[in-house]
Amino acid sequence: MASLIRLLIDLTMNSFDDVRSLAASLLKCVELRPNLLLRTIDRGEKVMCRTGRADHADGYGRLMDVALSTCPKDSCQAPFSSPVLIRSQVSVGSLLSTLEADITTATIDLRCAVASAPIHGRLIALRYDSALAD
């Protein structure tokens, strides 16, 4: 099962949209360990920032969607052993604060912001989260 989960996580960064979508949908059906989820999101964010590719940004957004849907807004008890840690690191508020910091960086030095802080992945994550709320 662990190798299947790892494969699905890798497929969320695939260049084909339908593959990323299916992988994210399947990840929502399995119970993910909190530390694996946080490491995966961190790794996805690093890939997104390093490459700046739209498919990697979408993959990061889908990983955030998996995390936010796994730990609902109202009640975040199961399956996480540390729900406060998960919600503090994977939340709309943390996405917005990071987005604000990236925009501030862009107003100071656009070239640096484009190279180091692409915002499209965070915007995609917010879009998936707002779709989840509907």
Count of structural domains, the chain = 1
The CA distance from 83 to 68, in Å, is: 11
Is the whole model's pTM more than 0.85, yes or no? no
Cβ neighbours of 60 (radius 10 Å)? 27
The per-residue pLDDT for range 101-132, each reduced to its tens digit, is 888 888 898 888 777 777 888 888 888 766 65
Q: Residue 97's domain spans which residues? A: 2-133
Of 65, 48, 49, the residue nearest 13 (C-alpha): 48
The pair of structure tokens assigned to 25 is: 């949908």
Other beta carbons within 10 Å of 43 = 15
pLDDT in tens, 23-67: 999 999 998 887 888 889 889 989 988 888 889 999 999 998 888
Place of tokens 């790892």: 6
